[in-house]
Amino acid sequence: MKVYSRKKTEIVKALRRGDITFSVYGIGKMGLPLAVILADKGARVIGVGRNMEIINKLNRGICDIDEPGLSELVKKTVKAGRFSATNDAIGASRQSDVKIILVPTLLDEENNPDLEAVKSVSKSIAAGLHKGDLVILESTAPPGTTENVIKPILEKSGLRAGRDFGLAHCPERTSSGRAIIDILGAYPKIVGGIDRKSSEACEAIYSVVNKKGVIVVKNLKTAEAVKVVEGIYRDVNIALANQLAVIFDELGVDSYEAFLTANTQPYSNMHMPGTGVGGHCIPVYPYFITKITNGDASLLKLAREVNDSMANYTVSLAESALTEAGRSIKVAKIMVLGIAFRGGVKETRYSPSFRIIKLLREKGADVHAYDPLFTKQEIEKMGFSYSDKFNGMDCIIIVSDHKEFRKYNWRKVGKEMRNKVLIDGRNVVEPSRIIKLGFIYKGIGHA
């Protein structure tokens, strides 16, 4: 059933009884969860990707993405005949009433927004676009993208947005490791359409999915800005925490105690310091503003510089501690614990560990890496030397806050090491306990 210009009550009923077909462009860590949730709510859904191996597996009900609850939903919806995957992007557009774009929006080598995937998908959608269809961009994008980039491509179909078909931006608000929970209603869904009818159609669709409800904003640009603001807010506040932590380390102030105590006052929301910022969101979104504005974005730029500099600070702590132990970093054997950008998540995009390892190698260190979420083969494929043993190590640097690291027997680990140096970049260990075990300890935020 075509949804543009339909009443909200009609759309809700049609979705639940399976009369609306969706195509979801991008069946990765964000797109696939949305696709199978829509299918589980009753819709017919076509997931569109490029990798035929992944597509064939999905059509057999097999999911390789490590996301809680996702494999079960894929299996369930494929078995019910409500979800299928294809690489025929134009065909999927022809067959669907609602087209959702959820492909990556990253950065090029000069940190400019890279919208090539969005443009490519939009061209395929345009080739199969019909009157009454609804096109939704869920990918995070610089304000103005839906109207200035996607709309002209879609209108090459001969149809006009806001007259013949609906167009909206409804930003995904999900995190790796909790995508299902987030989509189902950890936070309200944001909707912004090119016109009232587009917004109302999206509001009806997402009201079926999101138990926290839908917030309709006044236009496309505002909806695009919401997700960008969320990421920038965190980047700037993490930068504040990181810069203060470096200063407080010098002054002998325990940042964690100071920040947590400050947060007992309702107007303080201090974030916690660390080795840097990774993932596909926070380190990317500031550039969605700084690269498109002629205005003063100095605060955003400085926050990026501060957070990127934490890798250098981490290495400087290691070098200082090794010197204290009587070992030059040039001949040190160092273990980096954690390749993932965040604890409990098997994802490495923009992970600080990559820069830390690069800096250590440039100083001559013999660097090894371990992460409980990655196999030996996966780590070696990244170009790192793998080791899950501490024999002969001079220094350990904790970069990811995996729960497994909190359970380590550090007394045993220390006995295996050549020099007992530990740098904790993620507040994983208890400093006083580690020091009592004879380690030379330095932790970001723990003076």
- Is 18 within the bounds of a domain? yes
- The CA-CA-CA angle for residues 174, 179, 182, to 5°, reads 60
Please tell me which residue in 227, 333, 346, 420 is annotated as part of the active site. Answer: 227
Q: Do 329 and 213 lie in a common domain? A: no
Q: Where are the alpha helices (DSSP H) in 210-341?
A: 220-251, 255-262, 285-290, 298-324
Instruction: Name every residue whose Cβ is closer than 8 Å to that of residue 226 and which is 6 or more positions away in sequence.
Output: 171, 190, 217
- Span 225-229, average pLDDT: 98
User: Cα–chain-centroid distance for residue 335?
Assistant: 26
Q: Position of tokens 């043993």?
A: 389
Summarize pLDDT for 256-292 with one digit per residue, the tens: 999 999 999 999 999 999 999 999 999 999 999 999 9
- CA torsion sign, 92 to 94 to 96 to 100? positive
- Is 309 within the bounds of a domain? yes
| The token pair that represents 107 in the structure block | 């950065």
Q: Do 319 and 211 lie in a common domain? A: no
Residue finishing a domain among 187, 219, 251:
219
- Is 355 within the bounds of a domain? yes
Domain of 124, CATH number, reads: 3.40.50.720
Catalytic status, residue 227:
yes
- Is 243 within the bounds of a domain? no
Domain boundaries, position 137: 8-219
How many domains are contained in the chain?
2
Residue 447 has pLDDT above 80, yes or no: no
| The token pair that represents 198 in the structure block | 């587009």
- Is 267 within the bounds of a domain? no
Residue 191 has pLDDT above 80, yes or no: yes
Q: Do 314 and 435 lie in a common domain? A: yes
Q: Do 165 and 303 lie in a common domain? A: no
Q: Do 210 and 356 lie in a common domain? A: no
- Is 170 within the bounds of a domain? yes
pLDDT in the model for residue 176: 87
| The token pair that represents 346 in the structure block | 């098997």
Residue finishing a domain among 168, 196, 219:
219
Please tell me which residue in 63, 170, 202, 281 is annotated as part of the active site. Answer: 281
Catalytic status, residue 281:
yes
Nearest 5°: phi and psi at 278?
-130, -170
Summarize pLDDT for 374-424 with one digit per residue, the tens: 999 999 999 999 999 999 999 999 999 999 999 999 999 999 999 999 999
- Is 131 within the bounds of a domain? yes
Summarize pLDDT for 75-98 with one digit per residue, the tens: 999 999 999 999 999 999 999 999
Residue finishing a domain among 188, 219, 250:
219
- Is 402 within the bounds of a domain? yes
Q: Do 44 and 152 lie in a common domain? A: yes
Q: Do 75 and 203 lie in a common domain? A: yes
pLDDT in the model for residue 247: 98
Q: Do 65 and 155 lie in a common domain? A: yes
- How far, in Å, CA of 436 to CA of 207, rounded? 55
